[in-house]
Amino acid sequence: MTLFSDLKLDPKVLKAIDEAGYTAPTPIQAEAIPHALEGRDVLGIAQTGTGKTASFTLPMITRLGRGRARARMPRSLVLAPTRELAAQVAENFDTYAKYTRLTKALLIGGVAFGEQDKLIDRGVDVLIATPGRLLDHFERGKLLLTGVEVMVVDEADRMLDMGFIPDIERIFNLTPFTRQTFFYSATMAPEIERITNMFLANPARVEIARQATASETIAQELIELPAAKRDAAAKLKREALRKIIQAQGDNLENAVIFCNRKVDVDVLAKSLAKHHFDAAPIHGDLDQSVRTRTLEKFRAGELRLLIASDVAARGLDVPSVSHVFNFDLPSHPEDYVHRIGRTGRAGRSGKAISLMVPADQKYLDAIESLLGKQLPRGTAPELEPPRAAGRAEKAEDSDEKPKRSRRTRKPANDNIDAAVEPVEASAPAPQPQPQPQPQQQQDRPDRKRDRRDNRHDAPVGMGDHVPDFLMREFRTA
């Protein structure tokens, strides 16, 4: 068995690894680190949770041990698609570089530019950033990338999904051609392959598992729910989820629950909290300080249920997540693998339970086609018959305030219909007899009043002044 001590890493790095409790590298680490220490570009293809972060962090620290950083010119660059993933890389760097003098800076959104500028001005060895914030600093003239020796692109397929590929190409062109490049992705879409062919020089290809396969330590289960309309289906899934969580009992230490839309994340979190479950939401629209505080509580065990959008599918590093729930089946089958990869990490066992209604059949077909097997079916809990949820029920379940019903307006003039008497169809219309009328009707021309009286449907709401053209008869005698 290969050990970290066999990989020719810096002794200071080995000391930090030993204190972190690791002795043997994961398969991707064992294969990628030797190529990286030789100075070769590395193309890594592996599912999430296999130790990709350490596979580029450890050789990077070893290489950067010689040399010194200069102001505004970082020596290495790590690009991550989300703030959470960038923060995870920064934590790994702090763990493994604790006995070195290397410095780092984290450039992500939601943090003031001034604090980040101060770090860059001092000079950093490792710059960890999201593409958008990195280009913001560059365009402000606060950053130069001509001194980058090592460049890492992490979760490249997620970059593609989020539309960052043009930014990645631009950043590549701003760095030296002689850089060493680490390129990691869980899947190899045609666009990803085009970029690797353009910017990587004879890379060592390290592929640990078949593309988009789930870990064998994860027990997967699919719960099929009866058909229902959209509003009723959401209520049905919330009820089913609550009963499934209760059925797991003490086996459920903590769980990540994924929704496809941010609004559904908020609604589900409020619903669970209202039913006395320890739950909190996290998605891209929340303030960075709120997201960081929620993640810290979840990592510390102070929060049991984390309701998340896909922004956390690859940026959440909690080794001991016991369960993952797919409240919604993802529209992209690769996201299913990344979601359930939050559990069963580092050899631990985990459980992934997905909910579906008949409308999700196309998503299920795509997932099973990607995995090459059928998801095991579970037993659905006993639920109330699906029916359209009323306004009061929806408000009670989703914590939303019931909307006031619209009031039907009364006609502007109630006397119009009251003044018109029914006329029999067989008898000719009698001439109106002079009777006491309201002052306004006495002032009308007789011709208009006669035509009004001979019509079954008098105009409503026109007041006392009806335009003459509305009363004309266009039929020929």
The per-residue pLDDT for range 229-284, each reduced to its tens digit, is 777 888 899 999 999 999 999 899 999 999 998 899 999 999 999 999 999 999 87
The per-residue pLDDT for 40 is: 95
The per-residue pLDDT for 362 is: 94
The CATH classification of domain 218-398, taken from the options 3.30.590.10, 3.40.720.10, 3.90.1560.10, 3.40.50.300: 3.40.50.300
Two tokens, residue 292: 């960081």
Tell me the C-alpha to C-alpha distance, in Å, between residue 227 and each of 176, 231, 234, 239, 357: 57, 11, 11, 14, 6
- Indicate if the pLDDT at residue 424 is higher than 60: no
Given this chain, do its domains 4-207 and 218-398 carry the same CATH topology? yes
Q: Considering only 114-128, 160-174, 256-270, 334-348, which range has the smallest mean pLDDT?
A: 334-348
Percentage of the chain with pLDDT > 70? 79
At 429, the amino acid letter reads: A
Token pair 């039913």 is found at: 275
Q: Considering only 126-140, 246-260, 303-317, 386-400, which range has the smallest mean pLDDT?
A: 386-400
Determine whether domain 4-207 maps to CATH 3.40.50.300: yes
Alpha carbon distance 388, 184 (integer Å): 46
Burial bucket for residue 385 (CB in 10 Å: 0-12, 13-18, 19+): exposed
- Over residues 427-434, mean pLDDT: 51
How sure is the predictor about 23, in pLDDT bands with cuts at 50, 70 and 90? Answer: confident
How sure is the predictor about 167, in pLDDT bands with cuts at 50, 70 and 90? Answer: very high
Alpha carbon distance 363, 349 (integer Å): 26
- Strand 279-282 to strand 42-45: parallel, antiparallel, or no bridges (unpaired)? unpaired
Token pair 């029999």 is found at: 424
Domain boundaries, the chain: 4-207, 218-398, 415-471
The per-residue pLDDT for range 45-98, each reduced to its tens digit, is 887 667 889 999 999 999 998 888 888 999 999 999 888 889 889 999 999 999
